[in-house]
Structure formats: C-alpha cells, structure tokens
Structure 1
C-alpha cells in the first residue's frame, strides 16, 4: 500500500509537495481502514484521495509525478541509456530549476507488513542521491544510502544488503541502484521494485482508450464470473444494456458488441462505434478498475469526471471505499473538477476532509498541494459549499460575470479603434 508520496521540481510542482493516505490524528474511523504493520502498530489509511482545483492549477501534474517515479524505477537501467541526459521535466518558469535536483520519495507497505521508504534525486546527467529505509520493528534501518557528491558514493550500514559491493560497482551513475538490482533478480530488493511494477497504474479517460477497451474485452473472455461482473457494471451505467459479447472474426481484432434491450423486444447487439462516448469510456475503465480491486493495486485516474456523470464517478469512489467490494485494500487517486463528489445526494460526506486535496498556484506559477483537513472544518461544515465559496482555496479566481465583462471590454476597444481608423 502507498502511505505517502513526496515530490519536488517536476512540472509545476516546484517546491516539495506531499500527498498522504495516512488519516490525520483524531479522524480515525471516518472513511478509513486499519493496516497492521510488521511491528504490530495499527495505522489508519484512506482508500481514496481526490485532488480538486482550478484549471491549470497542477492537479494532473500530481498524477504525472507519481507516474514519472514509477517510470524511473522501472526503466532507468535500460531506457535511460538512449537519452541525452536523464529525462526530468523540471519546473519551467524558473531558469534555476534546471540546475536543481528533481526529488521523489514514497512510503510503501509490502504484503508482509514491513514499511519501506524509497527515494532518489535526479540531476541532469546522473543520479545525485538514492536511499532505501525499512522499518520492520518500527525503527529505521538504512539499507543503502547513495550520494554522488561523496568520495564513497554508496554506504550500506549494518551490512544487511547482499552483493552490495557488486551492486555499487555495476550501477551506472545515470541509473537507479534499485532498477539495476531488480534486473538481476536481487532477492532482497526485487520486492520493492515489484511494488512499483504492480502499482501506480495511470488512466486518462480521453487517452489510450482503445487499449483499455481491448483490455476490458480480453477480461470478458477470462471466465463466466468476470463476464458477469463486467456486464453488471455495464447494466448499472447504461439503461437497456442486457449483456456484452466479443466477436472474433478470422484476420481481424476482436470486436465488442453490447446487447441492448428495450420495449420488451429481444436484446440487439449494436455496432461498437454506435455506442455513446460515456458508455465506451465506462467500458474502458471497468477492466483496469477490476484489476486494481482484484490485486490491491494503487490506481491513478486523471479527470475521473471528464467522461462520466458525477453519479458514476461517485460509484467508482464507493467501490474503493466499501470494504466488501475492496477486500484487498486497493487505493484510488483521482483528479476531478466536479465538487458534487464532496457529498452524497443525501448531503452526507462522500469523502472526508483528509481525502479532499486541493491544488493552487502561487505568484511564481508553482503548485501547492494541501488537504482540506488542514483547515480543520467542523463535523457539520458543508465542504462543497465552503469549497465553492473559496474558503479553502483551490477554486478559480473569477468573479461572477468577469468573463463577459472582459470580452465586452475587448470588443468595445476594437470597435473604438475601427471608428478611429475610419475617421
């Protein structure tokens, strides 16, 4: 499971920002679930975090940063050799950022309950630092500490790591030691690497949809149980859907057809291109959604409400929030614009203040990320109304009618200029 993620100098995330699933002290039990660590300590975590904010405030950059850390862990050994330097995408609005390191760190818990902290800093052409800590008995164990500015770049306190001298010798300056170790199936480090390989799956509703449609279609063929689960989710999303089928034709890719019924007539399969954008987007989301729930993975969904009605976006949240539907502790991080996801139609909170994170840009154009719980709202506070009123920040700084007035001013000035030229 993911406990916390920290990042700095990636896109608009100029200064260090943190995203945390850990429930703030005193809020335990509200929308959270317990996790028993290897030292016996109980930790309360949220299964879902939602990131909201104005357009261009940096919401998607948080998702991007999580994905970039994953990509670095998986690909630094093989793929980075083809780059002219290390791919970083540092903050663009300050020339000094190009000379500063890009920072990533994640706190994770593996299946055995041991908490690990893994992080690294990237320069333009080398890994400037890298570290791995474990907490099997509650106290920090340093497994390795790398600092490119030291004469002895690698330190391995306690001698816990096997083949440490070999790893130090064969790891390139522009590659992560964790990636290099996993490439050789290192028995101690590969489980940490495998966590990144099996988590932080990124979904953007309007991108790579054909691949996700194909994946969901593939899952339809897995078993009768999986088919029933997918068909049930489709029925919830679209009135009239009676089932789904995958048509295989020689020499052609499998084709999905959803069977529709109406007016008591027999269900009729429609051509896939005739389905609505919303239905296709939901179908494409179902496959990765079920995979995350089945494996207990961390799923990243950018703009959850972009192609789904807010009611359906809320149902996705509930799938992860409900223990019986999410017995393996899968986690969801999503971005959205629609503040109706703050609460149920009944007015009760769908997400707690610690699950609602906001992004806002400062005067430098740098993103600040913070939870609504920082404002310590009361139990009775209407989070959605307060958010829309700007009580917590994270909303566009646009007054009512401002866009109309700005456009009118431009048109008026243009007309005046034309009259002057004609005169």
Structure 2
C-alpha cells in the first residue's frame, strides 16, 4: 500500500507537493486516486516523478553514469535547488518512510524509517558521505555497515543494499521493485504484445478473464490466439506454472491464517514474508523465461473478429484496441498481486464508459481482493465525476493539478 508521495523540484513540480492516497485518521487506503487537470497542467510530471523515484531505487547503482551526477529533471528555473522524493508505504506488513534529495552532482541526503506499531525507528539516515544506522538495526548483522564504503556519492544506498541483499533493507527495496508499477507514455506494439502474451500463457483463467473484459468493450473481438510454447521451453514453463500455482495457494494460506504461518515456519523455517518473496522470484523467473522464448519465435498474438475470416495482428488493430490491450494485463496483474499501479492518461483512446469499467475493477471489493491501488491521471472531468456516486469506502480520492503563469504546478485535493 502507498500512503503518500511527496516531490519537489521535478519538472513543473517546483515547490513541495504531496499526493495522499488515504482518508481518515486511521489512515485507510483509497483503492482509486484520480488526478485531474487541464492540458500541460503537470499531471504527467507527477506520474513521471513516481517513475523517477522507482527508477532511482532500481537503477542508480547499475544504470546511472558513475562519473556524472544523479539522473534528475529539475524545474528549469530552479536547476540549482535540490530535488526531493519521499514515499510512505507498507511493505511486508510494516510501514516505511523512504526518501532522498539529489543535487546536480551527488545524493545530498537519503533516509529510511520503519514504523512498527506506529513507533518511528531509524533504519538509516544519510547526509552526504555520512551514514547513521539506527540503534534497532544491528548493522553488522544486517550488512548495512559493510555496504556504506561501497556506495557511490551519486547512487542510493537502498539501491545497492537491495541488490546486495542487506536483509534490513530488502522489504523497502522489493516494494519498489515488485509492488509499484508506473505506466506512462503510449507503449510500443512489441511491448504490448509481449505483456499480453505472457499474461495469457500463464493460465486458462487469465486468458478467459482478459477475453471477457475485451469482449465487453464491444470492439467485435471474439477470441485471442497466441503461438504454442516452443518445445524447448514448454516443459520448463509448465513446471514453473505448476510450482507458482502451488506456492501461491500456500502463500495465501499463510497470509490468511496465523496458525498456518506459524506451522509453516516450524516445518520449513520460512516466514510468510519469505514465502511471498519466493513467489515473486518465481514469477519473475517465469516472465524472463517467456521473454527469452518469444525472442526466438515471437508471441504470435492474433485477434479473431466477428464475421471476419482472417485473424488480425496487433499492428492491424485500431488504436482503441491497442490502448485497451496495453492496459488490461497490467491492471489484472496489479489486482492479482495487490500492487500500486500508476497510469498516466488512463482514458486515452478509450470511451469514458470503458475507462470507468476498468476503474471499477479496483473499486469493487469482489474484483479487488488484495488491496490493490490505482492512481490515474485524466483531463476528462466526466471520468472523475463518475466516481462521486459510489460508496464512501470505494469512492475515488480526487486531486487537481493547476499550472501557474510562472510555469509551476500545484496539487490540491478536490
């Protein structure tokens, strides 16, 4: 769950802006958060900021130029000011606050706090080259101390710790890696086809559900076809899918029953959190294997239409069909895993009715059983207003972005 996101000095978001995804004093997560604004108001910059933060956590060690400054995009009028990013989220049932500040040359500051039982505990605080490890985290055991001399001035400690598997920092790193997905831009045909093919190939249930949603869009599509698995990979994929299904059932039981989780740990030495990590690792391995397979033979995605004999390739489909197929596998994967999904311009190329149907998947407790969250931007007020008649529990939180004459964007709750 993502509780809040704060950013300053990223593109048009010059001053500190905060997006909250909870309501009430509890705080209770809102399943859907809408960000509305006019053209060039800064909606996409907010999504880009979340993507920038996630990318920094995952790529600053391996993807950033070690001889250049951090990758950042400050407001053009404030290039000398620090850029700041901070997220408050729940990973492996523990609340965390993680953030960092970047200047033109280095990581100026970085911090990670945990909040078990609403008590703030310092995991680490970094100011320049100085790193302080919190007293509750035995630094020698967790491996943080060993990593401090290895982190570059222009890279994040959390990025290095996640890749080196420093146990105290793994939950926060893995949240950015596996529980947050940011979808911006339009996506190319090849990547859309790959995501659809991977989703369809995992199970017949996945295929039936995606096809049902596609058919309700009234695009004339009656079936989806993908190429048979390469014989050289088929056995591996079949075994992986069976193991993933079994481990998924075990993970669900451990999450839903404290007694079962305790017995599991007694029998296997694995906690429920470790079991969930292993499930994610297996799903990632499956995706990597499928990607390697289709690199040789192609996905072979074809769409069958009512009353039309030849099947269509994705290149031959309408922009509305491509837009919907780009969204559906990502939305369904987020619902299945309880992810936070951030989508820029959700309604692009879709009717208001169809976009609203997708949003309802997150607002309906029967289709959103794992607490997934959707954050989307739109310039269409009609799409936002459709959520106002729903129950207080599932009604979307609505924010508005406005751009000033000085070229800065301000985020306010509607």
Q: Counterpart of 2:108?
A: 128
Change (3 A) 1:281 1:99: same
| Contact 1:127–1:174 (8 Å) recurs in 2 | yes
Quick check: 323-332 or 214-223, which moved more? Answer: 214-223
Structure 1 CA distance for aligned equivalents of residues 180 and 49 of structure 2: 10
What are the residue-to-residue correspondences of 1:305-384 with 2, within 5 Å? 305-344=347-386, 348=389, 355-372=397-414
Q: Deviations over 1:237-268 (max 9, x none)?
A: 12532211114699752322222225xxx976
RMSD: 2.4
Correspondent of 1:303 among 324, 335, 345: 345
Q: Deviations over 1:152-202 (max 9, x none)?
A: 711123151433432222222111111111121111111110100113322
Change (3 A) 1:268 1:235: farther
CA offset at residue 307 of structure 1? 1.1
CA offset at residue 91 of structure 1? 0.4
Correspondent of 1:109 among 67, 71, 90: 90
| Contact 2:32–2:395 (8 Å) recurs in 1 | no
- TM-score normalised by the chain length of structure 1: 0.76
What are the residue-to-residue correspondences of 1:174-189 with 2, within 5 Å? 174-189=154-169
| Contact 2:389–2:395 (8 Å) recurs in 1 | no
Q: Which has a greater percent of helix? A: 2
Residue 199, structure 1, aligned to residue 186, structure 2: no
Name the SS of the counterpart of 2:74 in structure 1.
coil
What are the residue-to-residue correspondences of 1:184-333 with 2, within 5 Å? 184-204=164-184, 206-247=186-227, 252-262=297-307, 269-333=311-375
Residue 145, structure 1, aligned to residue 125, structure 2: yes
Structure 1 CA distance for aligned equivalents of residues 396 and 305 of structure 2: 41
Q: How many residues align?
A: 345
State the structure with bigger RCO (CA 8 A, min sep 6), 1 or 2: 2
Q: Counterpart of 1:44?
A: 28
Correspondent of 1:80 among 58, 64, 68: 64
Larger Rg: 1
Q: Deviations over 1:364-419 (max 9, x none)?
A: 211000111xxxxxxxxxxxxxxxxxxxxxxxxxxxxxxxxxxxxxxxxxxxxxxx
- TM-score normalised by the chain length of structure 2: 0.78
| Contact 1:353–1:371 (8 Å) recurs in 2 | no
Structure 2 CA distance for aligned equivalents of residues 215 and 68 of structure 1: 22
Structure 2 CA distance for aligned equivalents of residues 224 and 353 of structure 1: 32
